[in-house]
Amino acid sequence: MNIQAVKQRFGIIGKSPLLERALNTAVRVASTDLSVLIQGESGVGKEVFSRIIHELSIRKHNNFIAINCGAIPAGTINSELFGHEKGSFTGAVNERKGYFETVNGGTIFLDEIGEMPLDTQAFLLRILESGEFIRVGSSKVLNTDVRVIAATNVNLEDKIQSGKFREDLYYRLNTVPIRVPALHERREDIYMLFRKFAGDFAEKYRTDSISLTPEARSIIENYRWPGNIRELKNMVEQLSVLTEEKEIDTDQLVELVPNIRNRMLPSKGFDSGSSGSSYNEREILFKFLLEMKSDLSDLKGLIYELVQANDLTLPDLAQLKKMPSYGSEQILSKAYAGQQAEGKADFETYDHGRPILLHNKDQYPDTEDVEEILSIEEMEKDMIRKALKKYNNRRKDAADELGISERTLYRKIKEYNIPDM
């Protein structure tokens, strides 16, 4: 089934490349029985992806159940998932089948898997590896054939480092990872979703559909949407009910949704000190900048030593600025010829007679530094490449050099598709 057909069948709105990549992965993995880990912020629609995988799989005629692990108390989650025997604990007046028994042959979607207690994680790992489980209060081993799709809105690698999530379970669940993009990562889809929700609520409340002025549209497209699609849908419903004018301008939008101006800057998304992933990315960036500064200082020092050792002088910077804008070698060659005619030694000749200009730090107090504009991603990729090359692809040593965990380095290598050095 092609992506457009999947969108129409499951009511998915959007044309973002990130969204289509996630959908393509879900469609391709659906026909297999592999475990899937769906990652993404709260409200991005992770459950929809689990239903896509189930409905396009060979299990589509069997049961599907979605369970929020964070909503079940730690004392009862084992009973809910695996069942219990009569009298196994206070209140267990009858035996009970758990979800893994009742959904045998189907699919279980475990949302907020990061909130699952450690003992339950051990039982889940056994099911994933052998299909075996034991009811609470029983010694009889039962078998089940269930496909597990898990989802999380937290960084499970951080949970592993803090001892709150099993590393072996993480790798068992993460056989096929799917990352659902946040709404602020697919801004081209925001107004499309707005129009869809506006039409739905107009039909629901039997009124005309609302619209936005260009200025108001710009505001919603640049808002970060921490609640993602859920927050956008709630806002459209609020506007549909409370506004008298059906074309909403900036003043009306801000009046009814005052917080919409509070988090319009992308830097808010970066300022998440509690996120280990963001912290590691900043570490790489800072280390890259420090290395650039160190390299530049070494280069300047080398040039100054050459100038002093050879007792070299240079023409005024003003004279260089007046030179015609030829290629760099033409400029240097012309300057070199002029200096030679005057008997000055402002240039030294190296490498097959090509002139090289040497700086004297005392002659140029007003020089300007030219900064190359690089994206954070490109800086990270460059740092990772350098570290891998330095240590001959020994990832542990490269991770230590970068000041990040080996798991984070492995994730970055996959994300940026960095080949072996």
pLDDT value of position 262: 63
In a domain, 296, yes or no: no
Same domain? For 79 and 193 the reply is: no
User: For residue 221, what is the domain's CATH number?
Assistant: 1.10.8.60
Sequential pLDDT tens for the chain (421 residues): 789 999 999 999 999 999 999 999 999 999 999 999 999 999 999 999 999 999 999 999 999 999 999 999 988 999 999 999 988 888 888 899 999 999 999 999 999 999 999 999 999 999 999 999 999 999 999 999 999 999 999 999 999 999 999 999 999 999 999 999 999 999 999 999 999 999 999 999 999 999 999 999 999 999 999 999 999 999 999 999 998 888 999 999 999 888 887 654 444 334 444 444 444 555 566 666 666 766 676 676 667 666 666 666 655 555 545 555 444 444 445 444 555 555 544 444 444 444 444 444 444 444 444 444 456 677 788 888 888 888 888 888 888 788 787 778 888 888 888 887 6
Same domain? For 101 and 134 the reply is: yes
Q: Domain of 171?
A: 3-181
Token pair in block for residue 276: 């280990």
In a domain, 379, yes or no: no
pLDDT value of position 159: 94
User: For residue 17, what is the domain's CATH number?
Assistant: 3.40.50.300
Same domain? For 188 and 176 the reply is: no
Nearest to residue 170, comparing CAs of 407, 354, 415, 414?
407
C-alpha distances out from residue 123 to 118, 120, 171, 182, Å: 9, 5, 15, 32
Token pair in block for residue 177: 């990872």
In a domain, 225, yes or no: yes
Nearest to residue 347, comparing CAs of 365, 320, 326?
320
Q: How far is the C-alpha of 68 from the C-alpha of 291, rounded, in Å?
A: 45
Bridge partner residues of 134 (DSSP): 141
Dihedral sign for Cα 254, 256, 259, 265, please: negative
DSSP string, 61-111: TS-EEEEEGGGS-TTTHHHHHHEE-TTSSTT--S-EE-HHHHTTTSEEEEE
Nearest to residue 17, comparing CAs of 159, 146, 185, 231?
185
156: left (phi over 0), alpha (psi -120 to 50) or beta: alpha
pLDDT value of position 295: 67
C-alpha distances out from residue 234 to 8, 13, 255, 350, 391, Å: 22, 16, 16, 70, 51
In a domain, 53, yes or no: yes
Same domain? For 110 and 188 the reply is: no
Same domain? For 103 and 220 the reply is: no
Domain final residue pick, 214, 234, 268:
268
Same domain? For 67 and 176 the reply is: yes
Give the tens place of pLDDT for each residue, 333-366: 544 455 555 554 444 444 444 444 444 444 444 4
Q: How far is the C-alpha of 53 from the C-alpha of 23, rounded, in Å?
A: 10
Same domain? For 78 and 46 the reply is: yes
Same domain? For 78 and 149 the reply is: yes
Strands (E) located in 218-366: 247-248, 347-350, 354-357
Same domain? For 121 and 211 the reply is: no
Give the tens place of pLDDT for each residue, 3-45: 999 999 999 999 999 999 999 999 999 999 999 999 999 999 9
Q: How far is the C-alpha of 242 from the C-alpha of 256, rounded, in Å?
A: 8
Same domain? For 177 and 131 the reply is: yes
In a domain, 406, yes or no: no
In a domain, 275, yes or no: no
Are the CB atoms for 256 and 243 separated by under 8 Å? yes
Q: Three-state SS for 263? A: coil
What are residue 327's phi and psi, to 5 degrees? -65, 160
Give the tens place of pLDDT for each residue, 200-220: 999 999 999 999 999 999 999
Token pair in block for residue 331: 């400029």
Q: Three-state SS for 165? A: coil
Nearest to residue 201, comparing CAs of 210, 212, 190?
210
Bridge partner residues of 323 (DSSP): none
Q: Which residues contact 165 (CB under 8 A, 6 or more apart)?
A: 114, 118, 121, 156, 159
Q: Three-state SS for 365? A: coil
DSSP string, 274-309: T-HHHHHHHHHHHHHHHHHHHHHHHHHHHHHHHHHH
pLDDT value of position 358: 46
Domain final residue pick, 181, 196, 226:
181
pLDDT value of position 348: 47
In a domain, 134, yes or no: yes
In a domain, 277, yes or no: no
Same domain? For 172 and 189 the reply is: no
Same domain? For 198 and 150 the reply is: no
Number of domains making up the chain: 2
Domain final residue pick, 228, 243, 268:
268
